[in-house]
Amino acid sequence: MLATNAASAATILHADLDAFYASVEQLLDPSLRGKPIAVGGGVVLAASYEAKVFGVRGGMPGRKACELCPQLIFVGGRFSEYQRLGDAAIRVLDDFTPLVERISIDEAFADVAGCTHLFGPPEEIARKIRRRVKAELGLPISIGVARTKHLAKIASQVAKPDGLVVVEPGTELSFLHELPVSLMWGVGPATKAKLAEIGVETIGQLAHTHSGALQRLIGHAAGQKLAALAWNRDPRRLETHRRAHSAGAQSALGRKPALPHVFVPTLLHLADRVASRLRAKDRPGRTVTVRVRFCDMRAVTRSVTLEQPIQATTMLAEIAEELVRGVLAAHPGEREISLLAISVSHLEESTELQLELPLGLADEKLKPGSRRGLARFGADRAVDKIRKRFGKEAVGYGTVALEAARSVPDEFRELAEKEL
């Protein structure tokens, strides 16, 4: 089977700054170069390659990281520097092509098909980008070049650290099928474990797995998507002006009891993060989704679509709490949870709010246009104004979230958020 892509040459680049946060810290403090470092404290936000050799990974509890690497050095995050240097790296790509799709603070796609007459073939353009980022910013960057976005991203991972991999047409499937499934977009620890149960560990094995078996294992949509990507069928084009279609937040809890005193304050903290983003862009949403991950890495999602879009913090928190209680009621044997997440989708541009008649109904607190809903929204706006003037810690919502939820600084989370 051949890859389906209109382009006849590999012109899509995926550029990814290596161990970005840790690399910035080593750049700014030369005494840290060559040493195992981790950005963070209670939780590892990022690790240098010297630390990764010992098994230290982002998202890992700090205590476990120190057990794996006793000589590990923890440093605080310099978030303004991450933003400055990440922006500067993306501007280097902009100098070669206007077709740049930034997907995070430290990585982006670029299509160079239209500028080879100016700067040379794609491989040479990639080399020039790497040289400039190293010379101008002092940071290592890995680049993958291929005909599809998915394959370019995989190639950049193979190129790490500080390398370049070009996948030429005609060699794509032989390159792809030897690689582990964990390199694929959308294959996390849970999906990887499920695939391993049926003996699928490489992308080639996935490609040759019967579609019915794959869809029964991981679901219809996910099965179809992964099967197509395993054959390098990825028709997506670059989106140079992306806006997020949803806003979400999650909190890793470790192993915590599935009890209200754990999940209620955590959900309020998450709802605060999500709803404040929605209000900042005036983009309320209709569909609320929660994800509950148990300690065996199995995750369950529940969602509800509302009559009117919402962006009030306490309203979102209460809807999320009801959904989580439903998940736990349906899984009475689960005693512990390891992660909670909230997302709001079906976002709308701000519209005139439809007012509700004050009928004293039980669910009025969940209606944005009710008297209580308007009062809640007014309180949120007041909180937003206070925080804008005095900082985010100046005022909260009465319930203090778990320390685990605050172990990752909000500045770090904001760097990863997509534009609404």
Binding site listing for Mg(2+): 16, 106
- What is the secondary structure of 347-412 as a DSSP string? E----PPPP------TTGGG-TTSHHHHHHHHHHHHHHHHHHHH-GGG---SSPPPHHHHSS-HHH
How far, in whole angstroms, is CA 243 from its chain's centroid?
14
CB atoms within 10 A of CB 330: 10
Rounded to a whole number of angstroms, the distance between the first and last alpha carbons of the chain is: 38
- Which residues does the annotation place in the binding site? 16, 106
CB 316 within 8 A of CB 273: no
Distance CA 322, CA 320 (A): 5
Element (H, E) at 316: helix 313-330
- Please identify which of the residues 25, 50, 101, 107 carries the catalytic annotation: 107
107 catalytic residue (yes or no): yes
CB 247 within 8 A of CB 277: yes
Cite the DSSP H helix spans in 95-180.
116-119, 122-137, 149-159, 172-176
79: closest CA among 134, 34, 28? 28
Catalytic residues: 107
